[in-house]
Amino acid sequence: MSKRIVIALGGNALGKNLHEQMEAVQKTSKKIVALLKEGYEIALTHGNGPQVGLMLDCFDSYKINHDIDEFTMSVCVSITQGYIGYDLQNVMREEILNQGMNIPVSTVITQVIVDKDDPAFSNPTKPIGLFLSEQQAEKGRKKGEHVIMIEGEGYRQVVASPKPQHIVESETIKTLLDAGQLVIACGGGGIPVIEQGNHLKGVAAVIDKDFSSAKLAKLIHADYFVILTNVEKVSLNYHKPNQEAIDKMNCKQAEEYIKQGHFKKGSMLPKVQAAMQVVRENPKCKTLITSLDKLSDGLSGKTGTTIVP
Ligand code: ADP
Ligand code: MG
């Protein structure tokens, strides 16, 4: 029986800085390698919100004293794919060896094609980087950045979040999985590019990792689609006195809950929508939204939220 699985790692599986990332990744590797031992073929994807913001800040500081070209968003995403991928593949390899297995691990720098006419480009919504002070927010606005105030949280820079149309390196990822290897791909949702004939041009955007992971699940014919985040289950009336965890919902119910505003834009909404997309395209694919700690229990149906067609 085929057990091909896409696992999307959320921010808490990676931490917010270099030190946190090393620790978080070690914990993550134990859970992932346990699944390899059970015979799962795994494609790991991950977010890069805090990391890509850090890169942008680094380049901004560097520019103060150096006359250099603008560092594009797509370059920043590629850097985060490289350095998060490095940490992951380094730690995963070690854990695989510790568990007495011999499975090669690699990171695929992944480009994801978006539509140049995607409406997202005229309506930036995706928060990146760290929280900003009022002063920093004002400074960003003066530079032409979009900065918004998130109720009860603070100021964040936001960029466009277009939908992924195709994953350029999907055949490479599939070939590695077919060969029984562990693959890390689509980091930070992938490097957003638009097609110009044979040329792929990087664009200023961040693709939601939940949507590119859903696209990957389709392209590699995944049997399971798992989103690991910092909640065990998706809830109705989240953070309200009448909060109620959801074990299972079908797409029709999910549509209804979305209309009622139960899932927050940019955080839980894309996860629910990504899982809906996966089961609509492949009704046999099993979906799961849960936390890293509950990964194993979630896969055996004991917890987490599953979305069915
Ligand atoms: P990730 O880095 O894993 O993508 P996000 O912060 O983007 O994490 O999304 C997960 C967060 O979504 C949870 O921590 C929770 O605060 C929030 N959230 C919003 N709406 C809901 C909901 N209805 N049920 C559960 N969590 C929700
Ligand atoms: Mg997120």
CATH number at residue 74: 3.40.1160.10
Q: Tell me if residue 286 is catalytic.
A: no
Element (H, E) at 58: helix 49-65
The pLDDT of 59-72, averaged and rounded, is 74
Q: Which two three-digit tokens encode residue 79?
A: 């850097």
Q: Is residue 178 part of a domain?
A: yes
Q: Is residue 292 part of a domain?
A: yes
Q: Which two three-digit tokens encode residue 63?
A: 């520019």
Q: What is the domain range of residue 270?
A: 4-113+163-308
Q: Is residue 172 part of a domain?
A: yes
The answer to whether 120 touches 204, Cβ cutoff 8 Å, is no
Structural domains counted in the chain:
1
Q: Is residue 201 part of a domain?
A: yes
Q: Which two three-digit tokens encode residue 275?
A: 């899982």
Q: Tell me if residue 126 is catalytic.
A: yes
Mean pLDDT for all residues in the chain: 93
- What is the structure's pLDDT at 49? 81
- The closest-lying atom of ligand 1 relative to the alpha carbon of residue 246 is 24
Nearest to residue 129, comparing CAs of 47, 44, 211? 47
Q: Tell me if residue 12 is catalytic.
A: yes
Find the 258 Cα to ligand 1 centroid distance in Å: 14
> Going by CA atoms, what residue is nearest to atom 6 of ligand 1?
267
Q: Is the pLDDT of residue 269 over 80?
A: yes
Provide the percentage of residues in the chain whose pLDDT is more than 70.
98
Q: Report the 3 state secondary structure along 172-224.
A: HHHHHHHCCCEEECCHHHCEEEEEECCEEEECCCCCCHHHHHHHHHHHCCCCE
Q: Which two three-digit tokens encode residue 9?
A: 């790692």
- What is the structure's pLDDT at 186? 98
- What is the structure's pLDDT at 144? 80
Q: Is the pLDDT of residue 70 over 70?
A: no
The pLDDT of 117-124, averaged and rounded, is 92
Q: pLDDT digit string (tens) for 187-243?
A: 999 999 999 999 999 988 889 999 999 999 999 999 999 999 999 999 999 999 999
Q: Is residue 134 part of a domain?
A: no
> Which residues does a 6 A CB cutoff place in the pocket of ligand 1?
10-11, 47, 229-231, 234-235, 238, 262-264, 267-268
- The closest-lying atom of ligand 1 relative to the alpha carbon of residue 237 is 23
Q: Could you tell me the pTM of the whole model?
A: 0.93
Q: Tell me if residue 215 is catalytic.
A: no
DSSP 1: -
Q: Is residue 157 part of a domain?
A: no
Confidence of residue 71 (pLDDT cuts 50, 70, 90): low
